[in-house]
Amino acid sequence: MTLINQRIVLANRPRGAVTPENFRLEQAPLPTLADGEVLVRNHFLSLDPYMRGRMDDGKSYAQPQPLDKVMEGGTAGEVVESRHPGFQPGDKVIGRVGWQLYGVVAGTGLTKVDTSRVPLSAYLGCVGMPGVTAWYGLNGIIEPKAGETVVVSAASGAVGSVVGQLAKAKGCRVVGVAGGPDKCRAVVEEFGFDACVDYKAGKLRDDLKAATPNGIDGYFENTGGEVLDLVLARMNAFGRIAVCGLIAGYDGQAIPVNNIRAILVSRLKVQGFIISEHPQIWPQALAELGAAVAEGRLRYRETVAQGLESAPQAFMGLLKGQNFGKQLVKLV
C-alpha cells in the first residue's frame, strides 16, 4: 500500500513580509525505497530565521529555496523502513527531511541520536544547529575571558539563550537584549544572565548603558538594526563581535548602521559566520552541549506549534519574535 504524504512547498517568493500565500499544502504519494535509502516519519520540524533569506532568489551564502518544492529545513523523527545497513525501523534520527510528514532520503543524510538522556526535540535546538552556532560564535570568534562583559541580542531565542549560559560558565558578565518583560525576566531568572535589556521599553540607549557600566568586550549579534548601532557605541577597544544573524532586516527593511566608525576607533574584530562551514567543530560542540543538557547544566525553552498546517503561521511568528526559545512544529 502506497503511503500518501503531506508536505508544504514554497508557492511563490515573498515581496516584503512573508504571508500564508507564499506556501501551499500538498498531498503526494511516497516513492518506493531504493538501495541506500530510508523512509523517515518526522516528529518535529525546526523553524529557523535563516529560512527567510532562502525564500528570496538574491545572492546569498546558500542556494535559494526552489519554488514548488518541499520547504527545506531540519527535522527529527523515526525510521519507518530502511534499505540502508546503518538504520533500522525505530531508530531516532535527525536530518533535513523538510516540511513534510514523511520523507525518503539517503541514509548518508541522517544521523542517529540517543534519546535516553536528551529529548529528541533538543537535537534541533540546543544540542543541534542553534547550539553549535552559539558554541562556535562564542568560543571561536568572541573568545571571552573571565571578567569581561558579553552582550547577546535575541537573548531568549534558541541561539542567544545558549550563548549567555556558555559565557556565564566562563566567568563573564552577561547582558541580554530581548523583547518584553516576560522574556527579560526569564533570561535572568531561568538562563542566568546578569541583566537583560528590554528593547521594547523605549529606553534602549539608557538601559544598555546602565547594564554595561564597564563597556562591552564581546557581542553576539542576532538582530542588527538599532541594537547593533547602540552596542557599537559601547564596545571597548579590541572588542569582538560575532555576526550570526540580522533578523531585523530579513523582511526587506533597510538596516542603518550609524556607528560604523566605532569599528575603526575601537579596533574591533567583526566576523560573520555560517555554522555549516565549520564541520570540524561540530563533534566537540555537540558532545559538550549534550552532556550539559543531560546533566541539567544547560537550560532551554521551546515554542511548539501543533500539526504540519501550522508551520507557515509559526514561521511568520518567529520572524516577528513571537516565539520563546526554539520554534518547533510537532507532527505526532
The tens digit of pLDDT for each residue in 224-247 reads 889 999 999 999 999 999 999 887
**Nearest-5° Cα angle at 208, 206 to 212:** 120
Q: What is the pLDDT of residue 254?
A: 62
Residue 27 has pLDDT above 70, yes or no: yes
Return the closest-CA partner of residue 165 out of 197, 198, 126, 201: 126
Q: Which CATH superfamily does the domain covering 4-125+300-330 fall into?
A: Medium-chain alcohol dehydrogenases, catalytic domain (3.90.180.10)
Distance CA 37, CA 9 (A): 22
Amino acid at 230: L
The cell numbers describing 86, all together, are 546503518
Tell me the whole-structure pTM to 2 decimals.
Answer: 0.92
Contact partners, residue 324, CB within 8 Å, separation at least 6: 156, 183, 186, 301, 303
State the span(s) of the chain assigned CATH 3.90.180.10. 4-125+300-330
State the span(s) of the chain assigned CATH 3.40.50.720. 129-276
**Nearest-5° Cα angle at 205, 204 to 208:** 75
Distance CA 324, CA 269 (A): 30
Which CATH number does 129-276 carry? 3.40.50.720
Q: What is the pLDDT of residue 222?
A: 92
The tens digit of pLDDT for each residue in 114-123 reads 999 999 999 9
The tens digit of pLDDT for each residue in 285-321 reads 999 999 999 999 999 999 999 999 999 999 999 998 8
